[in-house]
Amino acid sequence: MGNAGNKNSTEILIRNHIIPAIFIGITVSFTIFALSLFHVYIVPVAKFIVFSSFASTSFLLFMESKQSASRISKFVKSYIIAGIMGIAGFFISVHIGIYYSLAVVETAIALLLVITESEHPPAMGIGVVFIFERANIFALAFLLTGMVIIILMDKFLNKFIYVLKNDVKVEIKKL
């Protein structure tokens, strides 16, 4: 039983922590690769800040899945809110200047995330991206494509990789 317990705790460590950590790198790499193709053909300048938001989101979803900010629904709502507000900020920056636009947009994003109960910190960077870069439908499609990739990777991890500790306890009792 002692040896089986060590084996199972090692399996939990590998499947619940090490593999998801590796998946962060895989997800971000795959997202960067896919979006770099998208960038070359559609988006004039890569949205590099988006990649840091995607990496932070991947860490939250894969490694801190028990946190309230790590829910797919919060991730999706927060990125959509931030994207829309960032696009609005791009258009108002022409009239009020980029610094004021950043302040207004980031404040609005924070308020909307709280009001809609979709607090997901990595989304705050998305508004900045759309203010600094050219906001258009392709930029929004760029963001949505990355979101879909992260969601698919998260679903894959949840279905095939994670080991539930209760399942391991059942397996130990069978031994």
Tens digit of pLDDT for each residue in 48-60?
Answer: 677 788 888 888 8
Instruction: Tell me which range, 14-28, 99-113, 149-163, is most confidently predicted by mean pLDDT.
Output: 99-113
Judge whether residue 139 has pLDDT over 90.
no
Tens digit of pLDDT for each residue in 77-117?
Answer: 999 999 999 989 999 999 999 889 999 999 999 999 999 99
Burial class (CB in 10 A: 0-12, 13-18, 19+), 44: exposed
End-to-end CA distance of the chain: give it in Å, rounded: 7
Q: What is the mean pLDDT of the chain?
A: 79
The pTM (predicted TM-score) of the whole model is 0.76
User: What does the pLDDT read at residue 81?
Assistant: 94
Q: How far is CA 53 from the centre of its chain?
A: 6
User: What does the pLDDT read at residue 4?
Assistant: 55
